[in-house]
Amino acid sequence: MTNLEYQEKLLDLITDGHTVLSETERFANQLRLRARGRYRRQGAPGWDGVAVGTFNAWAMDCWEDSWPNEWPASDFTRWRLIREILRHNPPPEPLLPDLPLVVAVDESFAGCLRYGIDPGEGDPANRLVEWRRGVWKEYRDALRALLLFHPASLPERLGSFLSLNPDAVPSKTVIAGFEFAGYWEKKLFSRLADTHGALALPLPQVKAKPRAVVYADREQEVFGLLGDLIRGAGEGRLHELAVVLLDRGTYAPILSQHLKDLLGAQLEGENAAYNLLAGDVLTSQSLWRAALLPLDFCLGGESGTQLFSLLRSPYYGYFGARGRALAQWDRVWREQGIEKGLTALLGSLGGREDVLPRRGAELTEGLGALTDRGTRAASEWSAGLRSFWKQMEFPVIANERDRIAWQRLTGLLDGFDAELGDSSMRAAEFAAWLTAAGEKAPVQPSGFEDAGIQVIGELELRGLAFKRLFVPGFLSGVIPQPARSLPFLSVRERRLVLGGTAESQFEFAAHLFGQVQAAARETVVSRPLLGEGGEPCLPSPFWPASEETMAPVIPWRHDLPVMQRARWVRDGIEGIAAAMERKEPAGKTHAGGESAPDLYRAERLRFPSEVSVSELELLLACAGRFFLRVILGLEALPVPTRGLDAAVRGRKIHALLAGFGRRLRGIPGGHEREPEALCRLLDEMVRKDIEEQARVAHWRVELARLLGGAEGAPGLLKEWLALECSRFGEGWRWTAFEPSFDNLKLRDCPVGIKGRLDRLDLHSELGCICWDYKTGAAPGMKEVLEDFKAPQLPVYLLAVRKGLVPAIGDRRVTLAAGYIALQSVRKLNHCLVIGADERMESFLSQWESVLAEKIDAARRGQLAPLWVLQPCEERCDYECLCGELLFAGPEAASGCAAPGNPVERGRG
């Protein structure tokens, strides 16, 4: 007997006046739909009621109709009672008496009660089981005192009630399925059968030969599944097609995204092209995550990332109209290296907070009410969160799912206030309570669940009937599942619980496989050969002996009409076609000697009249990077790093040294002062400058690094000053700090160069040295003297030589240049790179020619990126734009691919 024949038999019994009790709502709905179809075919009204429903709903209705003295306890009540017991009866180490443990203990009680296990008694067992038994006895007594009971014991109580009140049972009842029902459910069904003539009809078990297909990997398996679904959709009704996801965590996100790509966004009701499986809970909804952002911010150390997520969330109407201005805040925090602290974050904005009313006072006050400063009544935390939502105009509802999620969230908070409002807790506990309840609150949009292609779970499949059924991921470890982890149950108790042993899981999997074969006329099971990491995937022990193996396919290269409905595939095909027409990515010379057109040549280029030294360095490194950064003005968003950003630290050290130098020059005879006096002056100035930022821990660490730790560790700046004082003794004097220049003209080049030197030192006999501070790695001498890649020092010398630096003017002095390495105390050094000798003029002339040639080529539009000519030796912020990854493949980023050769890419 197939499931379709099974349903027809149930319909005959319903017509004869029987009431059918099912395990799942989906099975009941499909049975109702078939019953109404039969009614219409027989000429009866299609909307006549159908006597079918779930056992759980029927049991609760029976209990409510009995006018009982005791009621099932709610989740919040049960958890509160267990938490109070755990305060004086803590768990064995290393377990902590937190809310996850409370929920786990409650679930263990539910499992015991359902399968007829007394949670408080049993054979001698380990410490954890004995502790559970002691907790249960207190818990049971506490429930009784409140006239409550655990919901899992409802079948036991209902059985006792029905034995005394037989009239409460329908005269004709059919128990559909329930082969793996709990102990008390089976007792209840047996009593119904013995005293009321109820029929128990187990679900069919079919031994057929489903089609078994093996794919190379999971992606190929999903491609094949989608092809089968789309083809099947053209041959019959959509709701006659079904997909059973045995591993929903792995397959549901992949399948959901691909269905959206191929068929568009999921519609509701009878217009749906596909109907994704139910089972979403409140905590998986976007609205939930947005609702808890203020709590996440306060509990997460007031992280800048969390605050920015709050500011940019579309669910908060207060920020909506100010989105563009608020988006700049994140860049400020990244550039200044400020990671957390509401005061530090808002204090760094430099007036940008004016975009908010009262300069963000409402935001500060609202978040302040949720800051964890100790225990409060639970109702106060709830009120603070509701108040913040109201002030920030939350929520902005986008669709029906948001509306349902908001209703569930407010209802959850109402229940929380009613049952736990007077309990004392910290903010973290409040968030944990909400999350635990949200994980058990289902969110199911309205509509017809039988519309469109059905995507369901393995438990929902039982009893359903389709024309075609597809079961991907048919692997060992999925069917059957491993034995459940039941740490609060003894070995004997686990044998009584479904899934508690490997044998139990195998038995249930065998039943499930029989249902897979009974559910449709045509069944396809599939599995990947390899997993995500390339590891082999073992087939299920129920895998058919006869199988097909499908060759791998690539959506861009094979004839796959189904996958080529997706826009990302069509775009890829168009891109590959365009690349094939060009043959080469850039002006590479062919074997015949002819040069292909330069695809990177820019026409009608607007070249700046002046470039900075740093921009010039970009041009020397890669013309493509110069084009993207300087010509187009595309800046990479600073990447948040743990600790201080290197660029932020570098700018701060440069500013400190320039400020200290100016202050020293303003003191008469400053260079002749004692080193100890200069050291005190430096210490005072640096501490005052970093005083505001030192509220952040990373800046306090940096301050200790610069000035020395409390345990006598050397400070970078104090060690630097000691080196400078020895140079003072040799006759060197600081002359200029950060002097800028502009309009430096090179021979035969109309583009000017501008820049700023770090420091100029003068000596009465030895001349002038241009120093460039380096808080990171300094260029090597080869890059300056031979490779012509580091232009700073040569350009600075050219500016001095041409009289563009006021501190030197037109004086003819001996010139030299070098770097001052400020990475760490260990690497602290004055490194003279360009010495003062007779070769200086020819060296500067050579640099001038190289720079003029590079600028002229760029002005003429020759902006091919470096990878076209040679492998790139470093990663770049613009590699996603310059074509390197498209043509040369990912290997080119590490300098492994041959330059200029397009590399065949794998699937993306």
pLDDT digit string (tens) for 170-200?
778 899 988 888 899 998 888 888 877 888 8
Do 64 and 79 lie in one domain? The reply is no
CA distance 115 to 496: 6
Name the phi and psi angles at 761, rounded to 5.
Answer: -115, 140
Residue where a domain terminates, one of 490, 514, 549? 549
Instruction: Please check whether residue 9 lies inside any domain of the structure.
Output: yes
pLDDT, position 281: 86
pLDDT, position 759: 94
Do 403 and 302 lie in one domain? The reply is yes
pLDDT, position 448: 59
CA distance 586 to 590: 11
Cβ-contact 678, 664 below 8 angstroms:
yes
Q: For 467, how many CA atoms within 13 A lie in the half-sphere containing its CB? A: 12
> How would you class 683 by CB atoms within 10 Å of its CB: exposed for 0-12, middle for 13-18, buried for 19 or more?
middle
CA distance 44 to 716: 92
CA distance 754 to 735: 20
* Pairing outcome for strands 466-471 and 241-245: parallel
pLDDT, position 267: 57
Q: Which amino acid is at 72?
A: P
CA distance 163 to 156: 11
Q: Which contacts qualify for 545-548: CB closer than 8 Å, 24 or more apart?
A: 546/209, 546/212, 547/212, 547/213, 547/214, 548/211, 548/212, 548/213, 548/214
Query: What is the number of domains present in the chain?
Result: 5
CA distance 389 to 391: 6
Residue where a domain terminates, one of 835, 850, 865? 850
CA distance 570 to 583: 20
Cβ-contact 113, 152 below 8 angstroms:
yes
**Within 10 A of 866 (CB to CB), how many other CB atoms are there?**
19
Do 259 and 327 lie in one domain? The reply is no
Per-block average pLDDT, block size 10, for the chain (908 residues)? 92 88 89 84 71 89 88 92 93 90 94 93 92 95 94 90 77 88 89 83 90 92 89 84 90 85 65 64 91 92 90 91 84 79 84 80 88 86 93 90 90 92 90 92 67 84 92 93 92 92 93 93 93 88 92 73 72 69 47 45 78 93 90 81 81 94 88 89 92 81 86 86 93 93 90 94 92 92 89 93 87 90 92 85 90 91 83 80 62 39 30
Per residue in 874-888, is it b (16+ CB within 10 Å) or e — as a string?
Answer: eebebbebbbbbbbb
CA distance 794 to 847: 7
Select from 325, 249, 293, 303 the least CA-distant residue to 392: 293
Instruction: Please check whether residue 164 lies inside any domain of the structure.
Output: yes
As a whole number of Å, the end-to-end CA separation of the chain is 45
Q: pTM value?
A: 0.71
pLDDT, position 593: 37
pLDDT, position 529: 92
Tell me the sheet residues that pair with 771: 759, 818
Do 482 and 338 lie in one domain? The reply is no
Name the phi and psi angles at 106, rounded to 5.
Answer: -60, -40
Per residue in 259-285, is it b (16+ CB within 10 Å) or e — as a string?
Answer: beebbeebebeeebbbbbbbbbbbbeb
Preceding omega of 395 cis (within 30 degrees of 0): yes
CA distance 150 to 141: 11
| Paired tokens of 262 | 């191929």
pLDDT, position 886: 57
Do 698 and 724 lie in one domain? The reply is yes
Do 763 and 659 lie in one domain? The reply is yes
Instruction: Please check whether residue 613 lies inside any domain of the structure.
Output: no
Q: What CATH number should be reported for the domain holding residue 541?
A: 3.40.50.300
- Domain enclosing residue 97, as ranges: 74-149
Do 423 and 340 lie in one domain? The reply is yes
Do 144 and 165 lie in one domain? The reply is no
Do 411 and 304 lie in one domain? The reply is yes
Supply the DSSP string of 766-806, one letter for each residue.
TEEEEEEEESSPPPPHHHHHTS----HHHHHHHHHHTT-ST
Instruction: Please check whether residue 444 lies inside any domain of the structure.
Output: no
Give how far Cα 410 sits from Cα of 215, 413, 643, Å. Answer: 46, 5, 39
Give how far Cα 111 sits from Cα of 115, 219, 478, 489, Å. Answer: 6, 37, 22, 9
Looking at residue 19, the DSSP 8-state letter turns out to be: E
Instruction: Please check whether residue 367 lies inside any domain of the structure.
Output: yes
**Residue whose tokens read 């109709």:** 65
CA distance 23 to 9: 17
CA distance 800 to 816: 11
Instruction: Please check whether residue 865 lies inside any domain of the structure.
Output: no
CA distance 658 to 835: 24
Instruction: Please check whether residue 627 lies inside any domain of the structure.
Output: no
Do 188 and 229 lie in one domain? The reply is no
Do 488 and 348 lie in one domain? The reply is no
Angle between helix axes 675-690 and 646-665 (nearest 10 degrees) is 130
Residue where a domain terminates, one of 374, 405, 438? 438
Select from 727, 612, 629 the least CA-distant residue to 672: 727
Instruction: Please check whether residue 600 lies inside any domain of the structure.
Output: no
Tell me the sheet residues that pair with 19: 173
Cβ-contact 141, 92 below 8 angstroms:
no
pLDDT, position 162: 82
Do 795 and 678 lie in one domain? The reply is yes
CA distance 84 to 229: 53
**Residue whose tokens read 């949200």:** 438
